[in-house]
Chain A
């Protein structure tokens, strides 16, 4: 079989798990795996971002290569012989999942527990989690100077949630350092460069300059980092508050696509609602106009839609705007 070929790229033949496949030159091993429906876990990979191959959960065994290779970024070459389920591949995937499962809160990562089960990961092997860091401790970690652990508890990235603006929260206890938010904030989408990876090793973290709060940073609140975050570390405040209150229920949610009305670009918005209230807005990654990315207006500018509290409008009436003729909808 072959991957659908949009252009006239030369076809390359390779073998995956002893099955032969033709794919266009320039494809990645991951694309070839997916064309063969080989279940390949990914975490830091996203179709609309440049692969950084940092998580290494997609590694496969390439004949002739000393080490395993990342499927998400390694380009196919004719004659490659690849194993996706060898003992080495299974061990590496098991350990990567286990390393993340034991050091990061992965409770909101889709498919994570299934993959852990599939590869037999057991994050409990490293002992109980160490105490979470105090606010700011990880932000101030100095490269090359860790406090050696006695190994009785497992080091984690746990720390308090950062809430410094009204639109979204950053819970870096859930951050697997996939670099996606940095890419989306940078040249892959937004070109704002408000965040980067700072520090080194296990103390590496996503940070603004000197870890200043978002309102002091270059952040423009486009929310594209939230859009690409695979772990829920970056989250709409609306979702965070509902989860905190225990009212978030994805089974009760519906979504509908519409076109953003703020300007003439024509971005597709996917509006997610629960109990007839908008809870967040996303955009499809495969949409030609947005490639999944939006601006602050499309992403966050929907509060007015559900402003059904007449007292707010009454308040406005005290100002220069006369609202006598406005029909205020009845509260839901």
Chain B
């Protein structure tokens, strides 16, 4: 391709950062200078370079982590190395919230402004930061800065933050129980605030299955994992073979835990049957649904289980390669998974001859860069391939044309860690747990106004009330006002609905969803209207912008909720409500992907079930203030 670049060139620092990911340029063609005597008649970029397009996001990360932002020269260098038109590379890079394109301080503290943190008072924290530490807007300069962030997935330790320090030795660190003092200390250069995974609230409960190793077994030691029964399921998978694994998976009736509840066994079988090669397995670890943090805890505390499960899937569906796509805001989980992958390779649990049984399979970890939409499976593929994280139309489905347009299994982290027990103890034994339409155990992210927020594991069939009680209930003297189920894309339950069983069918009955397993409890002190305004703002921020219903609909919904909350309407309350309903309908019916299709569901359920915005009046009928 004959590509055109602007005059801007990279600094040696930027070049070093990119070369650390892509390796040194093997041809001067790809770096801009050309040795006429040796390279005047041959090009060494071309297809070989273009086929590395999926390295774009890692290369952008490398520059952002080293320099703090991405300059025109750095982008040109990356584009040259990968033979990507710079306009396209810019289009991809500017899609992500974690990348900046004008000089940004090396130290940035991201402070969560989302639902679970709001429920425990982050509004006051943010107001204080605005007074003491600057506006929290992307444009401000200085040696360090803070920024508002959507949910950081640390909801059990809210208010949450994330410290990122760019440099030759970049440093990323989650911040728990954030205070203005803590932010100030981080901005002044303090490091190592001592974040460490803690034991789950149910620690020691012998009925735990998915969480039994969390907080108990050293996540950095493959031997410890093995001693705790790890890799026995993989051994059995080798013994019963691919068909045996598929049989057990189907018998287990395991349903995907990412939100769509698709039968996992059927997905695997569909990929196994596809004649086209290669096959891929992708672990969707882009956990970004506000209020969700279960996958993070598993990756931080039980990373080898994920590797074992993906290897079993690879065996069953003859997958040639695997990817774990983890959200960019999970530094500790990223390090733990990276370490586990290295250890697994060193012990022959990944590579050319796994366990000496002739299976060839490996896994690569890829980081997102701040985009909720990339948790949508086809957006995830585009993001991983180095394109904008925009969803694709389905059909074709990922089992036919997924990553790199090849047959692909894509499973959520929680779905996958069910796999070893299914293979080890049999699908029928698994299906006996829980209830008929919802088998097995489920992880719930209980957060908001409860005494012991955290990830809880219960067999399907427990009620919402039981879960809230398990988490210690709301504080004494307070009562439940509402519960948000399934996150921003979920729906509200009222205090009257707390006896609904937490099953796929039980949730449908109260017009709610399990979604990603969020149970966000709000007591009567919480301003639910402000929560809805935030949900609407969240979707406005996170819409990819590809289709009109979602791109404009999320904006119109946010504007309308702002009017309702301020009690300054354009028309009568009925007119505004029916407009809101129509905005919701077109997003649900005509958006390309699940983000747009669910962007109105929490708002609509709140308006249907909770008595909100009751005294809103048109702007002309307001009492003058």
Q: Which residues between 263 and 288 of chain A lie within 8 Å of chain B, taking CB atoms?
A: none
Q: Are A149 and B558 in contact (CB under 8 A)?
A: yes
CA separation between A201 and B390, bound complex, in Å? 10
Residue ID in chain B nearest A89 by CB atoms: B589
- A143 lies within 8 A of B371 (CB): yes
The chain A residue with its CB closest to the CB of B147 is: A145
Q: Could you say which of B1, B388, B543 contacts A202, with CB atoms under 8 Å apart?
A: B543
**Contact A100 to B548, CB < 8 A, known contacts A143-B94, A152-B563, A201-B542:** yes
Cα distance, A208 to B89, chains bound together (Å)? 10
Interface of A is mostly: loop
Q: Which of A68, A91, A125, A217 touches B87 (beta carbons < 8 Å)?
A: A217
Q: What's the count of A-B pairs with C-beta under 8 Å?
A: 218
**Interface residues contributed by chain A, number (CB under 8 Å):** 61
Stretch at the interface among B55-63, B95-103, B289-297, B604-612: B95-103
User: When the two chains form their complex, are residues A196 and B571 in contact, meaning their CB atoms are under 8 A apart?
Assistant: no
Query: Is B88 a contact of A210 with CB atoms below 8 Å?
Result: no
Q: Decide yes or no whether A155 CB sits under 8 A from chain B.
A: yes
Contact status B579-A67, CB under 8 Å: no
Closest to B571 in A: A125
Report B553-567 CB contacts with A as 1/0, cut-off 8 Å: 111101111110010
Asked if B570 is an interface residue, CB under 8 A from chain A, the answer is yes
Task: Evaluate contact between B371 and A96: CB separation under 8 angstroms.
Answer: no
Given contacts A151-B566, A201-B544, A201-B551, contact A209 B559 (CB under 8 A): no
Q: Is B586 an interface residue (CB 8 A)?
A: yes
- What residues on B are CB-neighbors of A191 within 8 Å? 1
CA distance A217 to B137 in the complex (A): 29
B233 interface residue (CB < 8 Å to A): no
Contact B537 A207 (CB under 8 A): no
Known A-B contacts A68-B589, A91-B585, A201-B545; the reply to A99 vs B570 at CB < 8 A is no
Nearest CB of B to A97, in Å = 9
- CB of B371, distance to nearest CB on chain A (Å): 7
B625 interfacial by beta-carbon distance below 8 Å: no
How far, in Å, is B259 (CB) from chain A's closest CB?
14
Q: Which residue of B lies closest to A216 (CB)?
A: B6
Q: Does A259 contact B (CB under 8 A)?
A: no
A21 on the B face (CB < 8 A): no
Complex: A219 Cα to B364 Cα, angstroms = 37
Chain B: CB-nearest residue to A199: B94
Judge whether A144 and B590 touch: CB under 8 Å.
Answer: no
Residues in A with CB closer than 8 Å to B148 are 145
A209 and B97 within 8 A (CB) = no
**B219 within 8 A of partner (CB):** no
User: What 0/1 pattern do residues 214 to 226 of A give for CB contact below 8 A with B?
Assistant: 0011100000000
One of A55, A73, A100, A212 near B6 (C-beta < 8 A): A212
Q: Does B357 contact A (CB under 8 A)?
A: no
Judge if B418 is at the interface, Cβ distance under 8 Å: no
Bound CA span A317–B571, Å? 70
A204: which B residues are within 8 A, CB to CB? 544-546, 551
B551 adjacent to A202 (CB under 8 Å): yes
The reply to whether A198 and B91 form a contact with Cβ atoms under 8 Å apart is yes
Question: Which of A57, A96, A144, A150 is within 8 Å of B562, CB to CB?
Answer: A150
Min distance, Cβ A173 to any Cβ of chain B, angstroms = 15
Instruction: List B contacts of A126 (CB < 8 A).
Output: 556, 559, 570
- B87 and A155: CB pair below 8 A? no
Residue from the list A73, A88, A102 in contact with B393, Cβ < 8 A: A73
B547 interface residue per 8 A CB criterion: yes
Cβ contact of A218, chosen from B4, B546, B586, cutoff 8 A: B4
In the complex, A54 Cα to B544 Cα: how many Å? 11
Residue A129 is within 8 A (CB to CB) of chain B in the complex: no
Complex: A208 Cα to B558 Cα, angstroms = 29
Q: Is the CB of A146 within 8 A of B570?
A: no
Does A59 have its Cβ within 8 Å of any Cβ on chain B?
Answer: yes
Q: Which of B6, B79, B554, B561 has the most CB of A within 10 A?
A: B6
A residues in contact with B555, CB < 8 Å: 103, 149, 155, 201-202
Q: Is B150 among interface residues, defined by CB-CB distance under 8 A?
A: yes
Tell whether B266 is near chain A: CB-to-CB under 8 Å: no
Q: Are B548 and A200 in contact (CB under 8 A)?
A: no
Least Cβ–Cβ distance between A95 and chain B, in angstroms = 4
Please give me the residue from chain A that is nearest to B587 by CB atom: A95
Closest A residue, CB atoms, query B370: A144
Whether B137 lies near A95 (C-beta < 8 A) is no
- Decide if B210 is an interface residue (CB 8 Å cutoff): no
How many angstroms between the C-alpha atoms of A5 and B592 in the bound complex? 31
Shortest CB-to-CB span from A194 to chain B, Å, is: 6
Docked-complex contact B541 and A144, CB < 8 angstroms: yes
Interface residues of A in 179-201 (CB under 8 A from B): 191-201
Does B540 make an interface contact (CB < 8 A)?
A: yes
Residue B192 CB within 8 A of the other chain: no
Cα of A155 to Cα of B540 in the assembled complex, Å: 12
Residue in A95, A127, A145, A202 whose beta carbon sits within 8 Å of that of B583 in the complex: A95
User: Are the CB atoms of B585 and A92 closer together than 8 Å?
Assistant: yes
Residues A95-124 near B (CB distance < 8 A): 95-96, 99-100, 102-103
- Which A residues are in CB contact (< 8 Å) with B562? 148-151
The minimal Cβ–Cβ distance linking B145 to chain A, given in whole angstroms, is 12
Q: Is the CB of B87 within 8 A of A194?
A: yes
CB distance B96 to A143 under 8 Å?
Answer: yes
What distance in Å separates the Cβ of A272 from its nearest Cβ neighbour in chain B?
30
Shortest 7 CB-CB distances between A and B: which pairs? A144-B97, A204-B545, A193-B85, A196-B91, A218-B4, A151-B559, A95-B586
Interface residues, chain A, with chain B CB atoms under 8 Å away: 53-57, 59, 67-68, 70, 73-74, 88, 91-92, 94-96, 99-100, 102-103, 125-127, 140, 142-146, 148-152, 154-155, 176-177, 191-204, 207-210, 212, 216-218
